[in-house]
Chain A
Amino acid sequence: MKAVKNLDAIFNPKSIAVIGASRDINSVGYGILKNIVRGCVFESEHCRPFKGRVYAVNPNATEILKIASYPKITDITDDVDLAVIAVPAKIVPAVMKDCVNKGVKAIIVISAGFAELGKEGKKLQDDIKEIAEKAKIPLMGPNCLGIIRPSASINASFAPSTPPEGNIAFISQSGAIADSIIDWAIEHMFGFSTVVSYGNKAMLDATDFLEWLAKDEETKAIAIYMEGIDDGKRFMEVAEKVSKIKPIVVLKAGRTEKGTKAISSHTGSLAGSYEVYKAAFKQTNVILADTIEDLFDISKALANQPACKDGNIAIVTNGGGCGVLAADYCAELGLNVVELKKSTISKLDKTGKMHPAYSRSNPLDIVGDALPDRYYAAIDTLLNENYISGLIVIQTLQTMTNPEEDANDIIELSKKYPGKPIICAYMGGRFSKRGRYILESKGIPDFNDIKKAAKAMWALVERGRILKK
């Protein structure tokens, strides 16, 4: 049963057939074909047409979106790696048998109308699972969104569009969350290596995608939205291995338990399912996120910055209030806002760049009129100290502030100290945006919120702790 785990044809197909491709622009079958052929439905600069061969399968059409349409998949003469099925649920088994006869290497069933509908649907789902298992073909779905791989120019899904290319893989049990995240990602320039939405998990579960993505060179961090997993033990085995190679962050839904339970023992009533998941994540070094935003904030930091070797953090700011808040949030998260040594203060003094009234302690308030050279001197001096392992840089916009030059300096200094993570909090909006864009394009995570910056640093410290185990 477990032999069918080669997912290469799902992640890197050379040819794709869309069964149930349609000329009706409001149909799922049309959307999928358009995503493959054009790279997206809602157009943006990130849309890339699929470079391999594409086939439409629809007995009532000869051509859709300028792609030749065949009555059945078996009518296609060339090889087909991946079959994407979007036909009514009840004919999916027959279509899958055709796919098996054709010799496809993987199948994605987009169609809904399976286990989510109850008993009868479950039966239908078991049927298609059996067909796939017998033929030893990996089956993704049913009732799923599909897969998107921006860097490989693959959008075999009915998502509205294609997100920017990046180094974070997103595995989502929910299709709708993935849809919204893609729209959000385009607006916020948030890049993905892969977006997978696996639906009813008849055969392939989050664990299988996690296992494949561990080997994917494009992917530096893996973010998962999970409602539940069928084989918790296998997830733990795989997650333990994968988390040694790259960070895994999970947002788990279903934290509260409704309904009554017969209470037969203390442990029975106290061991709610979320508690068990939390324990499993902790034991396998999976980092737990709190909200959707948190999931991607943490993933962004982990994918782009080095792990922090311990919890010793320094904060540089040109605004006192933001510094105090940052120190509070860091302390609440268990980070150590280190006391600056006298030698460090004298080094700062010697740069000749400090304001007479600068704070001379951590958080290092370099005063509101700080120009780029003062930021540079402060960051350089602090990162050069062995006892400081990570840095949060806060910038508030004042009349003389230069967000762009500050950003370029931070990028330069991050290269000078490659082992030490930097997280930025450019506070503001319209006028700091340009600096923010420069930072993020070079892999320095920037947050317009100090608590988020502290949480991102916490995740890097956590990652450091995991790697030391």
Chain B
Amino acid sequence: MYNSKMQLFDFNKTINLLDKYKIHYPKSKIAKTLEQAKKFAKEIRFPVVLKIISKDIVHKSDFGGVKANIKDEDELVSAYEGIVKSVKKKLPRAKIEGILVQKMEQGTEVIIGMKNDPQFGPVLMFGLGGIFVEVLKDISFRVAPINVHEAEEMVNEIKGSKILKGARGEKPVKISALVDLLMKVSKLSIENKKIVELDLNPVFVDEKSAKVVDVRIMVE
């Protein structure tokens, strides 16, 4: 049910929490100005992603708050200005904390989530990202805490697991990295009861690693 006390957890605190559980988050910095954004992008190296950071915005892309695959400074300028303009137009009262400059990652998109259930406590979710999770609801659940075997089951259970294992000549992704991530989210969820919902969405996984690209934590 809708819970009015639920709110988006502060971005920096979120990143610190991930860090505490050794959940890797890509190199990123919050720019307060366009000049800063240019500087950070050079440091991090193109291609980069820009994302709006605001406590008032849960679904960033719904308000034009995300621009991906920015290859050079010209693109950065127009992306930066585009985000600010779009958000100001669509959500004039949202307080903008800054624009996140993040290294562009690639891989197969998956989602790892958690919901604190009133009867069972933290429940973990796993699925392939994008259309698979939204339209096909090809997802698996386990009540936390989970063991390695259960984490493996979560990955193997979805119909799309064949894609992860290398369908149509693609290289299989590193399943153990996903299992490791699920275990970390399980531990984090059990030890931080104030978290009501958590989304690692998307997580990009390839044959070498799994990288959390966006995170959203809702607290009470």
Chain A residues near B143 (CB, 8 Å)? 232, 236, 276, 279-280, 283
B123 at the interface (CB under 8 A from A): yes
A148 to B120 CA separation, bound complex (whole angstroms) = 30
Task: Say yes or no for B65: interface residue by CB 8 A criterion.
Answer: no
* B72 located at the interface, meaning its Cβ lies under 8 Å from any Cβ of chain A in the complex: no
113-147 of chain B: CB within 8 A of chain A: 113-115, 117, 119-121, 123, 125, 127, 133-134, 137, 139-143, 146
* Residues in A neighbouring B146, C-beta threshold 8 A: 283
Residue of A nearest to B129 (CB): A266
Residues of B within 8 A of A231 (CB): 119
CB distance from B203 to the nearest CB of A (A): 12
Q: How far is the CB of A279 from chain B (nearest CB, A)?
A: 4
Which candidate, A191-199, A267-275, A375-383, is the interface stretch facing chain B?
A: A267-275
A266 contacts which of B2, B3, B196, B201 (Cβ < 8 Å)?
B201
Q: Which of A7-15, A257-265, A331-339 contacts B (4 or more CB under 8 A)?
A: A257-265
- Asked if A276 contacts B141 (CB within 8 A), the reply is yes
Whether A278 contacts B141 in the complex (CB less than 8 A), given A232-B121, A262-B2, A265-B198, comes out as yes
Q: Which residues of B contact A265 (CB under 8 A)?
A: 58, 113, 115, 197-199, 216, 218
Q: Does B6 contact A (CB under 8 A)?
A: yes
Q: Which residues of B contact A276 (CB under 8 A)?
A: 117, 119-120, 123, 141, 143
Interface contact A236-B120, CB-CB below 8 Å? yes
* Cα separation A303 to B115 with both chains bound (whole Å): 36
B interface SS class: strand
Is A66 positioned at the interface, with any CB of B under 8 Å from its CB? no
Does B111 belong to the interface (CB within 8 Å)?
Answer: yes
Contact of A270 with B197 at beta-carbon distance under 8 Å, contacts A236-B143, A262-B2, A264-B58 already known: no
Indicate with 1 or 0, residue by residue over A274-296, a CB within 8 angstroms of chain B CB atoms. 01101110110000000000000
For residue A229, CB closer than 8 A to chain B, the reply is: yes
Nearest chain A residue, comparing its CB with the CB of B3 = A262
CA–CA, A280 to B123, complex, Å? 9
Q: Complex formed: what's the CA distance from A230 to B117 in Å? A: 11
A233 at the interface (CB under 8 A from B): yes
Given contacts A276-B123, A283-B142, contact A268 B197 (CB under 8 A): yes
Most buried by B among A261, A279, A280: A279
Complex Cα distance, B122 from A236, in Å, reads 13
Shortest CB distance A207–B (Å): 12
**B114 neighbours in A (Cβ, 8 Å):** 267
Q: Which of the residues A228, A267, A273, A282 comes within 8 Å of B113, measured between beta carbons?
A: A267
Once the chains are docked, how many angstroms separate the CA of A226 from the CA of B100? Answer: 48
On whether A267 and B199 interact (CB within 8 A), knowing A278-B141, A279-B142, the answer reads yes
B180 within 8 A of A: no
A271 and B2 form a contact (CB under 8 A): no
Shortest A242–chain B CB gap in Å is 17
Give the nearest-CB partner of A278 in chain B: B141
Closest chain A residue, CB of each to CB of B121: A233
What is the bound-complex CA distance between A44 and B2, given in angstroms?
52
Cβ contacts under 8 Å, B119 to chain A: 228-233, 273, 276
Which residues of B have CB within 8 Å of A236? 120, 143
Q: Are B6 and A264 in contact (CB under 8 A)?
A: yes
B residues in contact with A230, CB < 8 Å: 119
Beyond A264-B6, A265-B113, A266-B133, whether A271 also contacts B125 by CB under 8 A is yes
List A residues 241-257 near B (Cβ within 8 Å).
Answer: none
CB neighbours (8 Å) of A232 from chain B are 117, 119-121, 143
Query: Which of chain B's residues has its CB closest to A264's CB?
Result: B218
Inter-chain CA distance A276–B115, complex, in Å, is 10
User: CA A186 – CA B50 in complex, angstroms?
Assistant: 69
In the complex, are the beta carbons of B141 and A266 less than 8 A apart? no
- Determine the distance from Cα of A341 to Cα of B123 in the docked complex, in whole angstroms: 46
**In the assembly, what is the distance between CA of A188 and CA of B2, in Å?**
47
Chain A 41-59, CB-CB to B under 8 Å as 1, else 0, gives 0000000000000000000
CA distance A271 to B189 in the complex (A): 15
Q: What sequence of 0s and 1s flags, for each residue 211-235 of chain A, a beta carbon within 8 Å of any chain B beta carbon?
A: 0000000000000000011111100
The answer on a CB contact under 8 Å between B115 and A268 is yes
- Name which residue of chain A comes closest to B119, CB basis: A232
What separation, in Å, do the CA atoms of A273 and B119 have in the docked complex? 9
Query: Would you give the shortest CB distance from B148 to chain A, in whole angstroms?
Result: 13
CA gap between A266 and B137 in the complex, in Å: 11
A268 to B125, CA, bound (A): 10
Instruction: Name the residue of chain B whose CB is nearest to the CB of A271.
Output: B115
Q: Flag if B115 contacts A267 (CB, 8 Å).
A: yes
Task: Give the residue name and chain of the A residue nearest to B133 (CB).
Answer: A266
Task: Give Cα A228 to B118, complex, Å.
Answer: 11
Query: Cβ of B218 and Cβ of A270 under 8 Å apart?
Result: no
Contacts A230-B119, A265-B198, A280-B120 hold; do A275 and B113 have CB atoms under 8 A apart? no
> Do A267 and B137 form a contact, CB below 8 Å, given A261-B1, A276-B143, A279-B123?
no
Q: How far is the CA of A283 from the CA of B6 in the complex (A)?
A: 29
CB distance from A206 to the nearest CB of B (A): 12
Residues of B near A264 (CB, < 8 A) are 6, 58, 197, 218
203-220 of chain B: CB within 8 A of chain A: 216, 218
Q: How far is the CA of A166 from the CA of B117 in the complex (A)?
A: 37
Which A-B residue pairs are the 4 nearest by beta carbons? A267-B113, A262-B2, A232-B119, A232-B120
Interface set of B (CB-CB < 8 Å, partner A): 1-3, 6, 58, 111, 113-115, 117, 119-121, 123, 125, 127, 133-134, 137, 139-143, 146, 150, 196-199, 201, 216, 218
A-side residues, CB < 8 A to B, are 228-233, 236, 261-262, 264-268, 270-271, 273, 275-276, 278-280, 282-283
Q: 13 additional contacts, CB 8 Å, given A231-B119, A236-B120? A: A232-B120, A232-B121, A233-B119, A264-B6, A266-B133, A266-B199, A268-B115, A270-B125, A276-B117, A276-B120, A276-B141, A283-B142, A283-B143
8 A-B pairs with CB atoms under 8 Å apart are A232-B119, A262-B1, A264-B197, A266-B133, A266-B201, A267-B111, A268-B196, A280-B120
